[in-house]
Structure 1
Amino acid sequence: MEEAFPDARQILDYYHCQEHIHEFANARFADKAARDKWLRETTNRLFQNKLGSVLAGLRRMKLTGEAAEKRDALCSYLSKNKDRMDYGKAKRGGYPLGSGAIESANKFISHIRLKRSGAWWKVNLANNILALRCSRYNKSFDRFFAAYEKSQRQDLGPARPSLSLCQGGGRK
């Protein structure tokens, strides 16, 4: 991601993150009221960019067995993604918190065209088709095609008039 889009703001899919948090909460809390309270407080902390507080609270819990394993997995997951979890700032900035729109666009733009029954592709040709489809749907096709035409003119060198135009040929 960093290589392809070095300036992009990365946001960990909030709903996937919540799945991990709920999985731990279900293993940790037998009491529904205690579980719901912990989930509310943890979610609020994540939206306030207080991941350190969430991690510290998790590490203080004296757990054994499955709950300890789920806690350790959650701590690892949250720590690995700490730079991608400022949900409050993302929401205030109008960024989507989930990846559903991206996943849907990927399916619509890529899979429908490339995964048709009987279709097979060479990688470079598939990438060209995907670039055209993306430019069509993000309304940049005209810019994309103008850049392509310019690159083709540069590859061919100075333009020469066609023979038919020089000789006054053509249909009458």
Structure 2
Amino acid sequence: MVGTIALYDAQGERQHTIYIGATPEYGKASFLKRLEREIARTKTRHPQATYVGIADGAESNWRFLNLHTSEQILDFYQASGYLGAVAVALYPDDLAQQRQWLKQSCHHLKHDPGAATQLYEQMLELSKGLQQSQTIQENLAAALTYFQNHQHQMNYALYRQSNYPIGSGVTEAACKTVIKQRLCCSGMRWKEKGAASILSLRALVLTPTRWSQFWNKLNQYGFPVAS
């Protein structure tokens, strides 16, 4: 499990990232408590900041982020990924038309106010009396449901105007840098305790200044060992 807290300036440039890594845990209670503590510390240091939560469509993500952020944004690349099913439903036998429609619709979704609602209405109209294969119909239905549930989190034109990030790429990249690069090399096998220790160290190393803070604290307070 990986979480990130990224700090951005007023122009939307990322300035600092805090990384948190943990081994798999049913319910994620301990992991979420750690993340909450980091959020609380960040809010104490930056009380005037706008707090934005970015995630995919998993309901558990939004239950957590709704408690801690004032704006919730659906990852743009997750949202745009569902438009491929609509392109296929519109032009099942024309790959060039599919690509053209998909490119235009992704641009529309990203840049135009109200685009998510307009695309949802287009999907809804398309689904009425659609005579395509069962797979195409099921994929279109999944896209329709996704947009119905999340279009209120897809106001990307406004987010971009406010210089908010619209993708969860920082966290996606952290899955690789915190976990994959260290724990998933050829022949590696891990027990939970060892993996948890390595992930904690990895997060310290990757979060700027945390490694030196960690050692300064050890120098100041020492570390208890068995005699």
Which of the five TM-score ranges fits, normalised by the shorter chain?
0.5 to 0.7
Q: 1:119 to 1:144 in 2, by over 3 A?
A: farther
The separation in 1 between residues aligned to 2:157 and 2:183, in whole angstroms, is: 37
* Shift, 1:122, TM fit: 3.4
Q: 1:4 to 1:19 in 2, by over 3 A?
A: closer
Q: 1:86 to 1:53 in 2, by over 3 A?
A: same
Match of 2:77 among 6, 15, 27: 15
Query: Residue 122 of structure 2 corresponds to which residue in structure 1?
Result: 57
Counterpart of 1:7, as a letter, is H
Deviates more, 1:24-33 or 1:53-62: 24-33
Structure 1 vs Structure 2: percent identity of aligned residues?
24
1:25–1:35 CA contact under 8 A, matched in 2? yes
* Shift, 1:81, TM fit: 3.1
Structure 1's unaligned 5+ residue stretches are 157-172
Counterpart of 1:76, as a letter, is T
* Shift, 1:144, TM fit: 5.6
Query: Residue 74 of structure 1 corresponds to which residue in structure 2?
Result: 143
Could you list the per-position Cα deviations for residues 137-167 of structure 1 after superposition, in whole angstroms to 9, with x for gaps in the alignment? 2214158627965xx78x98xxxxxxxxxxx
Q: TM-score, normalised by structure 1?
A: 0.62
1:26–1:35 CA contact under 8 A, matched in 2? no
The separation in 2 between residues aligned to 1:117 and 1:41, in whole angstroms, is: 41
The separation in 1 between residues aligned to 2:107 and 2:182, in whole angstroms, is: 39
Structure 2's unaligned 5+ residue stretches are 1-60
Counterpart check, 1:24 vs 2:116: no
**Higher RCO structure (Cα 8 Å, ≥6 apart):** 2
Secondary structure of the equivalent of 2:82? helix
Query: Residue 36 of structure 1 corresponds to which residue in structure 2?
Result: 100
The separation in 1 between residues aligned to 2:185 and 2:105, in whole angstroms, is: 46
Secondary structure of the equivalent of 2:68? coil
* Shift, 1:19, TM fit: 2.8
Deviates more, 1:133-142 or 1:94-103: 94-103
Compare the two structures and name the one with the higher helix fraction. 1
The separation in 1 between residues aligned to 2:191 and 2:216, in whole angstroms, is: 23
Deviates more, 1:127-136 or 1:106-115: 127-136
CA RMSD of aligned residues (A): 3.8
Q: How many residues align?
A: 154
The separation in 2 between residues aligned to 1:45 and 1:113, in whole angstroms, is: 37
2:87–2:101 CA contact under 8 A, matched in 1? no
Query: Residue 177 of structure 2 corresponds to which residue in structure 1?
Result: 108
The separation in 2 between residues aligned to 1:42 and 1:106, in whole angstroms, is: 26
Q: TM-score, normalised by structure 2?
A: 0.50
Query: Residue 135 of structure 1 corresponds to which residue in structure 2?
Result: 204
